[in-house]
């Protein structure tokens, strides 16, 4: 019976706290999902934390424990399960196999539940066989070990996160924030995700991948960057922009600019430009009544066909479907 109860039911996110959990990663889902609200100010997610054991203390990698109020049974009610990183996974990390209590806990997860791993939390999903044949990522420092231990997983150590539909994995630490903001955007659109990002003082989207964080020799401080070219391009997304135009803004050859750009951003100039245009198109589809043709021109795709192809590749939906989903949701 639903009489007398609101029809709005928040999406339930259950965070699995393992012994040795990193407090920073553990707090990311509550902070990001917990901030998401609809136009009426109602919470869009219900976030709870559970253990593989009955309610009680769970050790962290810091000098304190956390008191978890839910046991593994909470996993059975989850719409999304998040596994943060832990430094005490034992056979999961060393041999790629689950402990008995962890296997029993994961067996409670309903089929079709969305699964998310932050940093080395991906070891848990991989040990359960849930990443076999799938693309995934983890912290760059663990990527080689992860691939050796789980050869069936298609490891991509260059990205901040991997969205493979119902299973998502992130790189280390702050990349978990990127992934959770991405999920808010995927679930409820750019406007809600941007609001969460603003209120938590994080970027709504970070360019590039893990390559930019791997230790390298310090560059010559006199070397020019590509910052000005990127700022220039962002103000002209509706115009045709050639690689040579960007290089000229920094007084570099195309070859030097391309190399420097990839070093700084982690992707090629063309990939970056397409990503910015996709984000611009998403914003316009959500927040304006412009026609699809007008959005395509304003975002710099030129034709609706080009925009449709890029949104289909990036988001898996057409511009019309995206607008119908997120423009309407935002107006409720």
Inter-helix orientation angle 269-287/190-200, to 10°: 110
Flag whether pLDDT at 330 surpasses 60: no
Could you tell me if 284 and 298 are in contact, meaning their C-beta atoms sit under 8 angstroms apart?
Answer: yes
Determine the pLDDT at residue 52.
97
SS3 33: helix
Q: What is the pLDDT of residues 71-117, one digit of tens each?
A: 999 999 999 999 999 988 999 999 999 999 999 999 999 999 999 99
Say how far apart CA 200 and CA 11 lie, in whole Å.
20
Asked if the model's pLDDT at residue 214 lies above 80, the reply is no
pLDDT bin (cut points 50, 70, 90) of residue 225 is confident
pLDDT cut 70: percent of the chain above it? 91
Confidence grade of residue 315 (pLDDT, cut at 50, 70, 90): confident
pLDDT of res. 213:
59
Average the pLDDT over each of 57-66, 268-277, 322-331 and give the range with the smallest value. 322-331
- Give the model confidence (pLDDT) of 228-242 as tens digits: 999 999 999 999 999
What is the reported pLDDT for 221?
A: 45
Number of residues in the chain: 332
Please report which confidence band the pLDDT of residue 208 belongs to, taking 50, 70 and 90 as the band edges.
low
Which span out of 202-216, 262-276, 299-313 was modeled with the highest average pLDDT?
299-313
- What lies within 8 Å, CB to CB, of 63 at 6+ separation is none
For range 288-315, the mean pLDDT:
92
Q: How far is CA 87 from CA 31, 117, 142, 204, 259, in A?
A: 22, 14, 12, 28, 36
Is the Cβ–Cβ distance between 82 and 15 less than 8 Å? yes
pLDDT (0 to 100) of residue 250? 92
The pLDDT assigned to 325 comes to 79
| Residue of 323, 36, 69 lying closest to 204 (CA atoms) | 36
Instruction: Tell whether the model's pLDDT for residue 224 goes beyond 90.
Output: no
What whole-number distance in Å separates Cα of residue 124 and Cα of residue 289? 44
Q: To 5 degrees, how large is the angle CA 262–CA 266–CA 267?
A: 70
Burial 52-87 (b: 16+ CB within 10 A, else e): beeeeebbbeeeeebebebbbebbebbbbbbbbbbe
**Residue 212 predicted with pLDDT over 60:** no
Q: Flag whether pLDDT at 192 surpasses 50.
A: yes
User: What string of DSSP letters covers 174-238?
Assistant: THHHHHHHHHHHHHH-HHHHHHHHHHHT--S---S-GGGGS--PPPPTTS--SHHHHHHHHTTTT
Element spanning 293, H or E: helix 292-298
Position 69 pLDDT exceeds 50: yes
Across 9-13, 142-146, 218-222, 233-237, least confident range: 218-222
According to DSSP, residue 88 is labeled -
pLDDT digits (tens, 9 = 90+) for 112-131: 999 999 999 999 999 999 99
Residue 1 has pLDDT above 70, yes or no: no
| Contact call for residues 261 and 272 (beta carbons, < 8 A) | yes
The whole-number pLDDT of residue 207 equals: 64
- Distance, in Å, from the CA atom of 6 to the CA atom of 64, rounded to the nearest integer, reads 39
* pLDDT band of 327, cuts 50, 70, 90: confident
What pTM, to 2 d.p., does this model score?
Answer: 0.75
């Amino acid at each position: 019976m639903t009489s007398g109860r609101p029809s709005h039911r928040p999406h339930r996110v259950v965070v699995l706290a393992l012994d040795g959990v990193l407090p920073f990663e553990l707090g990311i889902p509550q902070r990001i999902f917990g901030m998401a609200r609809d136009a009426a100010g109602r919470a869009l997610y219900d976030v709870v934390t559970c253990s593989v054991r009955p309610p009680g203390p769970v050790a962290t990698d810091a000098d304190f424990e956390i008191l978890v109020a839910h046991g593994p049974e909470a996993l059975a009610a989850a719409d999304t399960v998040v596994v943060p990183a832990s430094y005490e996974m034992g056979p999961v990390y060393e041999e790629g196999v689950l402990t008995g209590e962890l296997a029993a806990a994961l067996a409670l997860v309903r089929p079709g539940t969305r699964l998310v791993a932050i940093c080395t939390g991906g070891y848990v999903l991989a040990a359960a066989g849930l990443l076999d044949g799938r693309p995934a990522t983890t912290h760059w420092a663990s990527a080689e070990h992860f691939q050796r231990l789980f050869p069936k997983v298609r490891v991509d150590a260059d990205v901040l996160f991997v969205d493979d539909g119902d299973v998502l994995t992130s790189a280390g630490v702050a990349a978990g924030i990127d992934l959770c903001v991405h999920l808010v955007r995927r679930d409820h659109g750019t406007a809600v995700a941007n609001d969460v990002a603003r209120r938590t003082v994080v970027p709504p989207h970070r360019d590039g991948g893990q390559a930019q964080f791997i230790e390298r020799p310090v560059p010559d401080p006199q070397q020019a960057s590509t910052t000005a070219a990127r700022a220039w391009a962002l103000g002209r997304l509706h115009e045709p922009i050639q690689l040579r135009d960007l290089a000229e803004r920094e007084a570099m050859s195309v070859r030097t600019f391309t190399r420097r750009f990839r070093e700084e951003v982690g992707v090629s100039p063309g990939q970056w430009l397409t990503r910015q245009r996709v984000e611009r198109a998403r914003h316009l589809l959500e927040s304006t009544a412009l026609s699809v043709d007008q959005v395509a021109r304003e975002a710099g795709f030129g034709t609706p066909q080009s925009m449709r192809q890029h949104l289909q590749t990036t988001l898996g939906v057409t511009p019309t479907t995206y607008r119908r989903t997120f423009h309407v949701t935002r107006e409720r």
